[in-house]
Amino acid sequence: MNQVILPIISIVVILFSTSILLLVKNWRLCIAALSIQYVAVFFLVLQNWPLEMAMVKLVTGWIAAGLIGLMFRTTQADEIAGDIWPAGRLLRIMVILLIIVTVWSLAPNFTVWVPGSSTFLLVGGLLLISSGLLQISFVTQPLQVMLGLLTFLSGFEVVYSTVERSVLIAGLLAGVNLILALTGAYLIALPEAEDEI
């Protein structure tokens, strides 16, 4: 039962969170969406990994989201600056729909590429990868780029959890997530900083 319901709920959560990340400019909502996204990633990774290793993903993700949120709070801006591509929200919604359709139709073929993985897990992973790449491609602000990169990495980790169960690689990837978030926080704070670290 859990093998089906939990992944489906996770996919719905991922759809919801990635849509917020792509459509909304309010940073608080974006950080909240990223945090919720990591819960979905946790449940997807739990399909292949033991609880304690899957928890690493959740805790790392929350720390990463917290770091970025904490640093953006110091800039005292409610909304992420800069233009959001494309101009109309309607077009962005259509791009999200296009991603969903593409991922849904391609995921069964990818089960041949990644033996032992379920279609649900691949749908979740590929949704995260494609929406992360989309976000990276069309934004110029450090916060949005970092959110996109963290989303992309989450997607990769979901797919990779099927084939790799090494503790070292889990630790290294958690380290990459945290340092990426630290770098993001550093880049967000940089324009207002007066001196080096």
Partner 1 sequence: MSAPIIWIVIPGILAVILFLTNRWQRLNTIIALITSVLLSLLAIFLPIGNEFNVAALTYQIRESQIILGRQLIITSSDIPILVIIYLGMAIWIAGAYFTNVSKLFPSIAIGTAVLLVSAMSVQPFLYAAVLIELAALACVPLVTSPGEKVGSGVLRFITSYTIGMPAILFVGWILTASTSTVLIENFQLQAAIFLVIGFMFILAIFPVHSWVPMLIEQTQPFAATFAIFWLTQAGLFFGFGLLGRYELAPDVQTLSNILRIIGVFIVVINAVFIMFQKDLGRLLGFFILGEVGFTILTMSLQPPVNGYLFYSLSLLKMLPIVLCAFCLSHLHLKYTSLNFRRLTGLFQSNHWVAAGVITSILCLMGMPLLPMFPIKYQIIAELGNGSIIFSLSLWLVFFLLIISLVRVIYVFFTNRDDETIFESENLSIKLPIWIGIIMLLIGGIASEFFINVLLGLNY
Pairwise CA distance, residues 160 & 106, whole Å: 17
Work out whether 187 is an interface residue with partner 1 (CB under 8 A).
yes
Q: Among 153, 158, 161, 185, which residue sits at the site for partner 1 (rule: CB under 8 A)? A: 153
DSSP for 13-35, written as a single string: HHHHHHHHHHH--BHHHHHHHHH
Structure tokens at 179: 């340092």
Nearer to partner 1, 1 or 112 (CB): 112
> How many chain residues are in contact with partner 1, going by CB under 8 A?
37
Nearer to partner 1, 6 or 182 (CB): 182
Radius of gyration of the chain (CA): 17
Closest distance between partner 1 and the C-beta of residue 127, in Å?
15
Pairwise CA distance, residues 40 & 36, whole Å: 7
Nearer to partner 1, 88 or 192 (CB): 192
Instruction: List helix spans (H) across 46-166.
Output: 51-74, 89-113, 119-138, 142-160
User: Which 55-84 residues touch partner 1, going by CB under 8 A?
Assistant: none
Pairwise CA distance, residues 68 & 60, whole Å: 12
Closest distance between partner 1 and the C-beta of residue 128, in Å?
12
Nearer to partner 1, 36 or 114 (CB): 114
Ramachandran assignment for 164, one of left (phi > 0), alpha (psi -120 to 50 degrees), beta (any other)? beta
User: Which 161-180 residues touch partner 1, going by CB under 8 A?
Assistant: 163-164, 166-169, 171-173, 175-176, 179-180
Paired residues of 79 in beta bridges: 26
User: Which 103-122 residues touch partner 1, going by CB under 8 A?
Assistant: 112-113
Q: Which chain residues interact with partner 1 by CB under 8 A?
A: 112-113, 133, 136, 140, 142, 145, 149, 152-153, 156, 159-160, 163-164, 166-169, 171-173, 175-176, 179-180, 183, 186-187, 190-197
